[in-house]
Amino acid sequence: MRVLDTTLPPGETVPLHTHRWPGTLYVISFSHFVRRNRAGEVVIDSRTTGGAAPGSAQWAAPRPPHTLENVGESVFRGISVELKKFV
């Protein structure tokens, strides 16, 4: 497994990256965000799709290359636990 502890202050953007494995995301603190694909096109804008309450968890499928920009006024913090495939 791979564990990621992500803290994203307001106005900051996580560089282009991918999530090769599925996993869970536990939301510690929420702030609105925009996820963009490799071409810079908006894939998700949480201001229109809704947010996640602190203390909630959600399943996440593998994701292709993307960035994540905190467009809210709070710190976004989440812990992801991804399930790697072993051969």
For position 85, what pLDDT does the model report? 78
The answer on pLDDT for 81 being more than 70 is: yes
**Tokens at residue 66, please?**
């993307």
Domain ranges of the chain: 2-82
Average pLDDT, the chain: 95
The answer on pLDDT for 19 being more than 80 is: yes
Cα separation, 33 vs 29, whole angstroms: 12
Q: Are 6 and 76 in contact (CB under 8 A)?
A: yes
Q: Are 68 and 8 in contact (CB under 8 A)?
A: yes
- pLDDT bin (cut points 50, 70, 90) of residue 75 is very high
Nearest to 52 by CA among 23, 74, 80, 32: 32
Architecture of domain 2-82: Sandwich (2.60)
